[in-house]
Structure 1
Amino acid sequence: MLNGWQGWFGTFTGVVVITVVVLPLAALAAWALARRRRAAGATPGWAWQRSLAEVGIVYGTVPWVWMILLPGSQAGAVPARVSLVPLRDLFTILTHDGAAAATVQIVGNLLVFAALGFFAPLRFTALASVPRILALAAGCSVLVEAAQYVLRLDRVSSVDDVLLNAAGAGLAALASHHWWRATARASSDRPR
């Protein structure tokens, strides 16, 4: 099923398998970072929060971006396509491919930068607000969509993807709000 490099690195299945296989390495990286911070004198809670947030951002975002940048079957052969009318692509998918395909498209796009939205405010106090996370995720999404266009990957560069990617990051930031608000308060209470 995953024969050769293309099967491992050039298919959705390969990316998912690699992501699962790398999970123990991600856990080990978080442990090593926390241990290093503890050895440098950090408190255990702070060391673990920072380390988990850093690893979480990378581990939870890179596979999604990797999948987005996988070339389609006509990559390089068809002209790059852009859709700048909000909700047009989602409506087209819904009417042509059905509700299941539209649901997969929506959920997938909501998850692309969800880890970034969840963990970035925990790691970077400057990002501890939903509008900042929305702006960061929208900026990252625009970069990914531009890469799809420039590389002619047989994908549509769509404003719908940007909106859904940013919304997913914003919802994830709200889900972690309790933790990053507490961290922001603790940081502001520390003497400088």
Structure 2
Amino acid sequence: MKPDTLRSPALRRTRELLVPGLVILGFAGVAFVLRRPLLMAAPACTAGRWHGCFDTFNGVLLMTLVALPLSAPVVRALARRRRAAGLASPWRTSLAEVGMVHGTVPFVWMTMMPGAAPGTAPARVSLMPLRDLVTMGPLGIAGNLLIFAALGFFAPMRWAALASVPRILALGAGCSALVESAQYVLRLDRVSSVDDVLLNAAGAALAALASRRWWRRPGPGGERLRV
């Protein structure tokens, strides 16, 4: 008898709720640490003003946290639809899809915010590894690690083909390279740096390691993919 057949429905349900619980705790921790700058953006966001809310890091992060409860009904609706269709792992798959979108789009939005002189400042590229790392500071490094962290955390849970740290590392690097290239082509007055790509990819890989026990199992054999 396979080990999976011995697991009770209550145990499976508990494991299904564990991941969203960890995600919520993570967002709550971020909100507590950044509560002061978030409250600075709250008046503009509550008034529905674009300037001061959606064009600032604090405002986008605040709206991301505020919209978190709205993602729960989306996950539930997708899971019910998949369960009715008889698909496997409806809750994990739905949570992974919504989590990837909710946790990645706001950070990509922030990286695409223009600088002081978009369109007029010359496009800048930094291809020397580790040169910009020393000037980022702890906050800049942490922000770069988080940009594709949600993608790295949830992608292996959604697709068995991505259930490998090297593949997630390559996925994070590829997505980051696209963002950096867009910054350069659109002349957003931002520096397209190879260090950003390295940190973005590392953040995706570290997040993938954190979700490893929930990675999707490939094929009918039921064995987990190994690194």
Question: What TM bracket, shorter-length normalisation?
Answer: 0.7 to 0.9
Aligned to 1:167: 202
Greater helix percent: which structure? 1
Asked if residue 189 in structure 1 is aligned to residue 221 in structure 2, the reply is: yes
Q: Deviations over 1:26-84 (max 9, x none)?
A: 111111100111111235xx000000000011011011100000111222221110000
Q: Deviations over 1:147-170 (max 9, x none)?
A: 111111111000000000000001
Aligned to 2:144: 109
- Structure 1 residue identity aligned to 2:149: A
Aligned to 2:212: 177
Structure 1 moving runs of 4+ over 6 Å = none
SS of 1:88's partner is: coil
Q: Indicate the RMSD between aligned Cα atoms, in angstroms.
A: 1.5
Aligned to 2:59: 14
Listed as ranges, the matches of 1:37-186 within 5 Å are 37-43=82-88, 46-91=89-134, 93=135, 102-180=137-215, 183-184=216-217
SS of 2:125's partner is: strand
Could you say which structure has the greater relative contact order, defined with CA pairs below 8 angstroms and 6 or more residues apart? 1
Say how many residue pairs are matched.
177
Asked if residue 30 in structure 1 is aligned to residue 30 in structure 2, the reply is: no
- Structure 2 residue identity aligned to 1:184: R
Q: Percent identity?
A: 66
Q: Where do 5+ consecutive residues of structure 2 fail to align? A: 1-42, 223-227
- Whole-angstrom distance in 2 between the partners of 1:103 and 1:17: 20
TM-score normalised by length of structure 2: 0.74
TM-score normalised by length of structure 1: 0.87
Aligned to 1:98: none
- Whole-angstrom distance in 2 between the partners of 1:122 and 1:147: 28
Q: Where do 5+ consecutive residues of structure 1 fail to align? A: 94-100
